[in-house]
Amino acid sequence: MARINLLPWREELRRQRLKQFVSIALGSVVLAALIVLLVHMNIAGAIDAQDSRNEFLKRKIKEVEEQIKEINELEAEKQRLLSRMEIIQQLQHNRPEVVHLFDEIVRRVPEGISLATIKQSSNSVVITGRAQSNARVSALMRNLNDSEWFAQPRLDIIQTKGKSNEANRASDFTLRVQQVRPKPQQESEQGKQDKKKS
């Protein structure tokens, strides 16, 4: 009987399996490296895309902040202009009141009183002058209290000049009175009364 040696064949089969294993292992390593490279490139691309989006958003946010700043400046300018317009309208509206104020003071000052200054601050009017007697100052205060244009007269200072036995003693006075705006009906009635007097 003939003997067949199977060792070289087995050795060849082992070598082929080893080559196959090595090639599969190398292929797996290369494939894994390619996958890692692709994942890395994909992540790097996503990061770059997100960075570019972030830069775009930053630019847009900066533009919007500048626009908001301009809008705020325009709003502040608008408020300044509106306040100026309101002051001008108030001055236009109050312009006739100054005429009424002086007219009413002239009508209410009794004889024996000379006025030195009249100062108006908001709705308060400060009147300084000289009177022949304290009774004249009291009459002036009553007259101002009876007026529709004035209210709450208050005497701040009264000083008598001259000696007590002199007949012509003068009193310097300062009084404060509130300016009020009469109701339209009162204005029209007062206008009618003034026309009747004249």
pLDDT surpassing 70 at residue 116:
yes
- By the 10 Å C-beta count (0-12 exposed, 13-18 middle, 19+ buried), 125 is classed as buried
Q: Are 133 and 152 contacting, i.e. CB atoms less than 8 angstroms apart?
A: no
Domains and CATH numbers, the chain: 90-162+169-197 (3.30.1360.100)
pLDDT for res 196: 54
pLDDT for res 76: 94
pLDDT for res 140: 81
Q: What is the pTM of this model?
A: 0.46
Task: For residue 170, give the 3-state DSSP assignment.
Answer: strand
Residue closest to 190 by CA, chosen among 139, 148, 146: 148
- For the chain, the maximum distance between any two Cα atoms, rounded to a whole number of angstroms, is 178
Q: What is the rounded distance in angstroms from the CA atom of residue 40 to the CA atom of residue 31?
A: 14
**H or E stretch including 133?**
none
Average pLDDT for 39-49 = 94
**Polymer length in residues for the chain:** 198
Residue closest to 162 by CA, chosen among 193, 135, 131: 131
pLDDT for res 44: 94
